[in-house]
Amino acid sequence: MTMQRVSSPIFAKHISRILLVIGLLMMLGYFVVYVVYAANLIRFPFDYDQGEGFELVDTIMFSKGQWPYQDTETYPFYSSNYPPLFHVIAAPFVWLFGPAYWYGRLLGFLGTLVSAAAIAYAVYRGGRHRLVAVIAGLAFLASNTVYHIGPLFRQHMTMVMFEILAIVVLAHVNEIADKDKRRKQLILGLALLLAAGFTKQLAYATALAAFAFLFIRNPRRAIISGAIFGAVGVALIVWIVVATDGQWWTQTIAANVNPYNAQQTIGLYRLFWRLHGFLIVPAVLLVLYEFYFDRLSIYSLWFIAAIANGTLSGKWGAGDSYFATAIAATMILSGIFISRTLNRQWHFPENYLSRIFVPPLQRYAPQLATLALLIVPFAYIGYGRAVLHLPTTGPVFEQVADFLDIEPNAQGNFYDSAGRLVGGYADIGHLTTREDIEAGEAIVALMNATDAAVLSEEAAFSLRAGRDVITNPTQLLNLANNDLFEGDALIDMIERQEFGLIVMRAQFYPPAVLEAIGQAYQHDQFIHMNGFDYIIMRPILDEPLP
């Protein structure tokens, strides 16, 4: 049963097009902000987000043929808690350019562009509306969450890129008539799923959604491919576990069972809705349409799985980044819904619901078609208003901020419509300054002024000073929270004041380590950098304990 196709008034089509162009201009504006932010961040030589430096250390170790999954009870007490793929991809840059942040950040930024292009392709293939497809891809980059973490030296957005590519590749694999071509595309899709999982463990939800879709469409093929997929995945895990003497399992699996804060989860779901609600609504409507009038697509199953996976955002160390996959799924589903609505492509097979609802609506088909042309484009305009974020200083940005009458509400001179509403939300996105770089260099100079070892909570200072990177504080805390870290050797070094200098910011060390520091070291000064006060501590005694 098809809704009566009618011609909408010309003025409605023109207004609809104008509204879409307004939405496009808003998304292009956010893209400019994103590029400026990425370019600024790529040039910054120190940690911007907590943990970036340790991603670089992992990359350096892989470039030397070493595993970063080490015994944290022995010097330098270092280990990683992430799968290897992102760091392996970045390792060749170390051979060419040495330790640096720019290439990891560039890889993350480029990965988000690939993701946006894949989203636009999926939307166009599902709705055949070029302008909406472009807007949908840009809307992904306009999300506050994607904006914040996209250009970081972190592996999360590379995982999301592999997830999106896998889902897009598998979306129509069962419709390919040529057996060889279908097999190759299926292998490609599953390889991308493996790549996502070995970039970050959180990709398991996407894998479950993909195999649920494959099973619904062709159970036999799904079972066979799933068995092969599982065998390859298990074989890789066993190889890494054996090669690291079990440290990979301890560091990346056992240590990641972190404390859970339900209020943080609830707050992040509310934040996800507040920022993306204008596009979540059409995404949900498309899921309901497929459930009652069509076949469930892989995008709908993925959307449901990704939304459910957001429950893990309450873990210690988690945050709004856990919704990045759900944001990608939202952009695809909402884009397809908007495209089909504007193209009047809806078809309602005859069933009990269509018999009840479609006939009455057909009487008003002309009015409804015109109304849809005028209302649907507002989804992108409303979304554009909801995710408002931009620097409030500098050429152009200061004038735009004055015109919009907004003042900075986040770190630095930066406005973020999300603000800092809930725990686990990354308060980042501001631009770094020359003063920030000079402050970082001042910390490095303090390190160079001592002959003793230095303990730094962020790796950049140690790397820049040519010192050993000692410990990964958040990983030590992960381990300690799961009774997997004793820390006797590290605490002994602290008590013996073997470190000439200790640099801290967030104080993410385990409580026992912080207690030892407090007893053996005293505050010397604060150095303000990138919106944070870095704590410089020196031994209480002039000479080390015997």
Mark whether 285 and 369 lie in a shared domain.
yes
Q: Is residue 59 part of a domain?
A: no
Mark whether 334 and 457 lie in a shared domain.
no
Q: Is residue 423 part of a domain?
A: no
Mark whether 440 and 370 lie in a shared domain.
no
The mean pLDDT of 81-94, rounded to a whole number, is 97
The one-letter code for the residue type at 468 is: D
Mark whether 210 and 281 lie in a shared domain.
yes
Mark whether 253 and 320 lie in a shared domain.
yes
Q: What is the pLDDT of residues 109-123, one digit of tens each?
A: 999 999 999 999 999
Check residue 372 and give its pLDDT.
Answer: 84
Mark whether 305 and 157 lie in a shared domain.
yes
Q: Is residue 427 part of a domain?
A: no
b/e 178-194 (16+ beta carbons within 10 angstroms → b): eeeebeebbeebbbbbb
Mark whether 283 and 359 lie in a shared domain.
yes
Read off the pTM.
Answer: 0.95
Residue 101 pLDDT exceeds 90: yes
- Which residues have C-beta within 8 Å of that of residue 319, sequence separation ≥ 6? 268, 313, 424, 425, 426
Question: Percent of the chain, pLDDT > 70?
Answer: 96
Q: What is the pLDDT of residues 415-433, one digit of tens each?
A: 999 876 676 666 788 999 9
pLDDT band at 8 (very low <50, low <70, confident <90, very high): low
b/e 8-43 (16+ beta carbons within 10 angstroms → b): beeebeeebeebbeebbebbebbbebbebbbebbbe
pLDDT band at 317 (very low <50, low <70, confident <90, very high): confident
Check residue 545 and give its pLDDT.
Answer: 46
Which segments of 457-500 does DSSP mark as H helices, in order? Answer: 459-465, 473-481, 488-495
**Alpha-carbon gap, residue 377 to 369, rounded angstroms:** 13
Q: What does the block give as tokens for 218?
A: 């062709």
Q: What is the pLDDT of residues 212-257, one digit of tens each?
A: 999 999 999 999 999 999 999 999 999 999 999 999 999 999 998 8
Residue 12 pLDDT exceeds 60: yes
The mean pLDDT of 396-401, rounded to a whole number, is 94
Domain ends where: 306, 340, 375? 375
Mark whether 180 and 298 lie in a shared domain.
yes
Mark whether 151 and 264 lie in a shared domain.
yes
Q: Is 317 helix (H, G, I), strand (E, B) or coil?
A: coil
Give Rg (Cα) of the chain: 26
**What integer best gives the mean pLDDT of the chain?**
93
The mean pLDDT of 17-34, rounded to a whole number, is 97
Instruction: Report how far Cα 470 is from the mean position of its chain's Cα atoms.
Output: 27
Place of tokens 């484009």: 377
Q: What is the pLDDT of residues 26-65, one digit of tens each?
A: 999 999 999 999 999 999 999 998 889 999 999 999 999 9
Q: Is residue 65 part of a domain?
A: no
Mark whether 471 and 361 lie in a shared domain.
no
Q: Is residue 449 part of a domain?
A: yes
3-state helix, strand, coil split of the chain in percent (to 5) is 65, 5, 30
Mark whether 301 and 443 lie in a shared domain.
no
Q: What does the block give as tokens for 539?
A: 């031994």
State the DSSP string of 258-272: --B-HHHHHHHHHHH
Q: Is residue 514 part of a domain?
A: yes
* Domain residue limits at 287: 10-44+101-375
**Alpha-carbon gap, residue 125 to 176, rounded angstroms:** 15
Domain ends where: 330, 348, 375? 375
Place of tokens 């939202």: 330
Q: Is residue 5 part of a domain?
A: no
Q: What is the pLDDT of residues 269-280, one digit of tens each?
A: 999 999 999 999
Phi/psi at 53 (nearest 5 deg)?
-60, -35
Place of tokens 């040495």: 98
Tell me how many domains the chain contains. Answer: 2
Domain ends where: 337, 357, 375? 375
Q: Is 498 helix (H, G, I), strand (E, B) or coil?
A: coil
Closest CA to 86 of 51, 120, 118, 34: 51
Q: Is residue 70 part of a domain?
A: no
Mark whether 340 and 473 lie in a shared domain.
no
CB 46 within 8 A of CB 102: no
Average the pLDDT over each of 97-101, 133-137, 265-269 and give the range with the smallest value: 265-269
